[in-house]
Amino acid sequence: MPRKSRSGLVFRKLWPSERDKVRDHFLRLDPEDRHLRFFGQVSDDFIERYCHEVLAAGYVVLAGFADGEVRAVGELRTYGAPGRRKAEIAISIERPYQSRGVGTELFRRLINLARNRSIRTIHSACLVDNAKMQRIARKFGCAVEVERGQAEARLEPPWPSYFTLMEEAVAEGRAVIHTLLLPPATRLPGRAARPGRAPGADAKEAPAPPIPASEPTEDRKA
Ligand SMILES: CC(C)(COP(=O)(O)OP(=O)(O)OC[C@H]1O[C@@H](n2cnc3c(N)ncnc32)[C@H](O)[C@@H]1OP(=O)(O)O)[C@@H](O)C(=O)NCCC(=O)NCCS
């Protein structure tokens, strides 16, 4: 039986066929969180295009699943020449799963994935008033610099170790078994969530996302 995090989510890398689940996750984000994640108000069409490009480009996307739905996403976008490979980390968690250590867990796992790919430098940008994201980055020893309304976290991770390689392999194996072999009802304790709804969503209807003011400008991150 795969171990769940204390949040109750099961983490694994996304498969290319699951692109729609990431899109649905981004579309479910609270408007404020969508703003924090994409550095501005972005339209549903922008998210559709973004998911198409991100997953098609072969970036590593780590997802936190509850009852078969993606409730948390961590992206590791790698670039640069061999030997000087860099990566950028971005994270988004749906409201009912925030402040339960999920962001910290995703950040930790993404650093491990970066180490296992011999990434020399990790960057993670967020808006300057995103105190939670900066707190998470600092917990992992990132240096955080603030410039022009953005906070940029930077880390030079160690080389991969036996333990980081084993952790990735074992976690993947467990999560795949969990996904393929166990019926949804046995994956989480308690009442199964209604499709497309997060636990707690029944208590209060989430506000409708605002009409996007604009697509991100040049200096906003995609
Ligand atoms: C930012 C985000 C990823 C954090 O995820 P999370 O699962 O809620 O975070 P965690 O529970 O793992 O940890 C939050 C940490 O911030 C701390 N924190 C909470 N509010 C804080 C505040 N106002 N100021 C400083 N630290 C704060 C918490 O105490 C915790 O630290 P601790 O573990 O040392 O106690 C999540 O809120 C999110 O998805 N936001 C929208 C998208 C986004 O902002 N992405 C980042 C840019 S890519």
DSSP 54-78: HHHTT-EEEEEEETTEEEEEEEEEE
**b/e map 161-198, b = 16+ CB within 10 Å:** eeebeebbeebeebbeebbeeeeeeebbeeeebeeeeb
What's the gap in Å between 122 CA and the centre of ligand 1?
Answer: 19
DSSP per residue over 99-159, as a string? Answer: TSSHHHHHHHHHHHHHHHTT-SEEEEEEETT-HHHHHHHHHTT-EEEEETTEEEEEE-PPP
Write out the residue range of the structural domain in which residue 169 sits.
10-182
Does the beta carbon of 93 sit less than 6 angstroms from any atom of ligand 1?
yes
User: Is there a domain that residue 52 lies in?
Assistant: yes
pLDDT number for residue 190: 35
In the Cβ-directed half-sphere of 216, how many Cα atoms lie within 13 Å? Answer: 19
pLDDT number for residue 183: 58
- Are residues 198 and 94 in contact, defined by beta-carbon separation less than 8 angstroms? yes
Does the beta carbon of 42 sit less than 6 angstroms from any atom of ligand 1?
no
Does the beta carbon of 137 sit less than 6 angstroms from any atom of ligand 1?
no
User: Is there a domain that residue 2 lies in?
Assistant: no
Q: Using CA positions, which residue lies closest to atom 24 of ligand 1?
A: 131
User: Is there a domain that residue 214 lies in?
Assistant: no
CATH number, domain of 71, equals 3.40.630.30
Q: Rounded to whole angstroms, how far apart are CA atoms 184 and 27?
A: 23
User: Is there a domain that residue 222 lies in?
Assistant: no
Give the total number of structural domains in the chain. Answer: 1
**Model pLDDT for residues 43-55, shown as the tens digit of each residue:** 999 999 999 887 6
Ligand 1, residue 127: give the atom nearest the CA.
47
125 phi and psi angles, rounded to 5 deg: -105, 150
User: Is there a domain that residue 211 lies in?
Assistant: no
pLDDT number for residue 184: 56
pLDDT of 100 > 50? The answer is: yes
pLDDT of 23 > 50? The answer is: yes
Pairing state between β 121-127 and 69-79: unpaired
- Are residues 75 and 60 in contact, defined by beta-carbon separation less than 8 angstroms? yes
Does the beta carbon of 131 sit less than 6 angstroms from any atom of ligand 1?
yes
User: Is there a domain that residue 190 lies in?
Assistant: no
Average pLDDT over residues 37-47: 95
User: Is there a domain that residue 194 lies in?
Assistant: no
